[in-house]
Amino acid sequence: MLKGIPRIISPELLKILCEMGHGDTLVIADGNFPAASLSSKLITLSGHGSIAVLEAILELFPLDEAPITQIGVMETADQSKPEIWEAYAKHATELVPIERYAFYEKAKNAYCIIATSESALYANAILTKGVL
C-alpha cells in the first residue's frame, strides 16, 4: 500500500502510468469496447465505471495541455452527445469526437487500454499524457 494512490489504481496500472511519456495515449474503454482484441497492453478494472477510473487516473496523470486540454471520445452514429460526456468535459477544455473506426485505430496505437465495466454507451475516452 502507498499513501495518496487511489485504491482503484492497481499496481500494474500504476506501473504503466509511470512508464508513459509525454504524448503517449491511453484509452478508458466501456464494457462494450473490444479492448482485448485491440490492445497489446490491457488493464482490466472490472466492477468500476469510466468516470471513477478517469478521476482516479487524473489524480496522478497530467493531461496534455498543448495547445489545450482535450479528451478524445468516440463519436456517436447520430452525432448526439451522451450524458457521460458531461462528466468527461469537467476535466478538459474540449472533448474531441472521433469517428468510430478512427477511434479504434487510435486505440490500437495507444500505450494501454483500460477495460472498465461501464454500461453507458459511447463512454470510451482517449487521454494524452502531458508533462508535470
Whole-angstrom Cα distance, residue 52 to residue 122? 16
- Classify residue 9: in a domain, yes or no: no
pLDDT digits (tens, 9 = 90+) for 38-77: 999 999 999 999 999 999 999 999 999 988 899 999 999 9
- Classify residue 6: in a domain, yes or no: no
pLDDT digits (tens, 9 = 90+) for 82-106: 999 999 999 999 999 999 999 999 9
- Classify residue 12: in a domain, yes or no: no
Q: What dihedral do alpha carbons 11, 61, 82, 75 form, nearest 10°?
A: -100
Number of structural domains the chain divides into:
1
- Classify residue 97: in a domain, yes or no: yes
**CATH number of the domain encompassing residue 61:** 3.40.1650.10
- Classify residue 2: in a domain, yes or no: no
Whole-angstrom Cα distance, residue 47 to residue 116? 7
Residues annotated as part of the active site = 22
The model's confidence at residue 130, banded by pLDDT at 50, 70 and 90, is very high
- Classify residue 13: in a domain, yes or no: no
Strand-strand pairing, 125-128 and 25-29: antiparallel
- Classify residue 55: in a domain, yes or no: yes
pLDDT at 1 over 80: no
Whole-angstrom Cα distance, residue 35 to residue 43? 9
The model's confidence at residue 79, banded by pLDDT at 50, 70 and 90, is very high
**Domain boundaries, position 30:** 22-128
pLDDT at position 21, please?
Answer: 96
- Classify residue 4: in a domain, yes or no: no
Whole-angstrom Cα distance, residue 17 to residue 57? 8
pTM higher than 0.85:
yes
